[in-house]
Amino acid sequence: MAVKPWSRTWTFFEGDWHEGNVPIMGARSHGAWAGTSVFDGARAFEGVMPDLALHCARVNRSAEAMMLAPLVSVEEWVGLARDGAARFGKDAELYLRPFYWAEAAGFSSIVPGADSTRWCLTIYEAAMAKPNSGISITLSPYRRPSADSAPLEAKAGCLYPNNARAMVEAHARGFDNCLLRDQIGHIAELAIANIFMVKDRTVFTPAPNGTFLDGITRQRVIGLLRGAGVEVNETSLRYADFETADEIFSSGNLHKVQPITRIDGRALQPGPMFRKARDLYWEFAHR
């Protein structure tokens, strides 16, 4: 599988902006070998940065959950993000990634030293999906960990290899993404997004149960739909529910709201509830 080249990138590190993918860790950095890193992802597109402050607040909560020190205030993160985004064109589609990691160990070699916490902000060009460009999904054989076996309250780098192997397995079978279950067999999320389904004009989405990230865009979409009079049920869902759904769509920071156009061998169309969710989100983002 070919490695994608870096898109145009700016990184704020050690008090200044640097162009490109700046080296920030060594082989002995705790964040590198022990996986003690957290990040978040905000978006800039069409001149807006929806929910930027919420993403910046979440990376600080993630740092605390990973036993790191949240050294940067939300206001500082937001200011740096706006400053960095200005280095690109006003209509650039950007991914903004605030990032913390431990440089050294604490009282044990596997424990991060909070006083060694370091940070950076990386902003890079990342195209967003076109409005109706859908993806295909299947069921992954892999599952999400439970809250007693992984730091699921953090958006931690160490959690992503599990979803990456799920994505690789799905790609090998001809699918773009996949649904993962929790430890008792309920659907949790897609490998890189939260998931929604529609049945008889009612929207359903997995209830947050500590096994997946309750995404900021997910929360926003739910609030917007309910505000528009749509019934949204957060509940336990099985794969069979998605196999017979009228519509399926996803929410996430990368593409915001995106339709699912195939589940296994069954074709779907971008439906009216997907279009309502996307339109409401775009209206909110520009408001």
SS3 for the chain, per residue?
CCCCCCCCEEEEECCEEEECCCCCCCCCCHHHHCCCEEECCEEEECCECCCHHHHHHHHHHHHHHCCCCCCCCHHHHHHHHHHHHCCCCCCCCEEEEEEEEECCECCCCCCECHHHEEEEEEEEECCCCCCCCCEEEEEEEEECCCCCCCCCCCCEHHHHHHHHHHHHHHHHCCCCEEEEECCCCCEEEECCEEEEEEECCEEEEECCCCCCCCCHHHHHHHHHHHHCCCCEEEECCCHHHHHCCCEEEEEECCCEEEEEEEECCEECCCCHHHHHHHHHHHHHHHC
Q: pTM value? A: 0.95
pLDDT tens-digit profile of 116-148?
A: 999 999 999 999 998 888 999 999 999 999 999
CATH top class, domain 9-125? alpha beta
Higher pLDDT, 5 or 226: 226
pLDDT of residue 3: 67
CATH top class, domain 135-286? alpha beta
Task: Please determine, for residue 9, whether its predicted confidence score (pLDDT) is greater than 90.
Answer: yes
Alpha-carbon span 250 to 274, nearest angstrom? 9
For all residues of the chain together, what is the average pLDDT?
96
The domain segmentation of the chain, as residue ranges, is 9-125, 135-286
pLDDT of residue 4: 75
Over residues 34-38, mean pLDDT: 97
Categorize the per-residue pLDDT at 2 as very low, low, confident or very high, splitting at 50, 70 and 90. low
Task: Please determine, for residue 101, whether its predicted confidence score (pLDDT) is greater than 70.
Answer: yes
Task: Please determine, for residue 1, whether its predicted confidence score (pLDDT) is greater than 60.
Answer: no
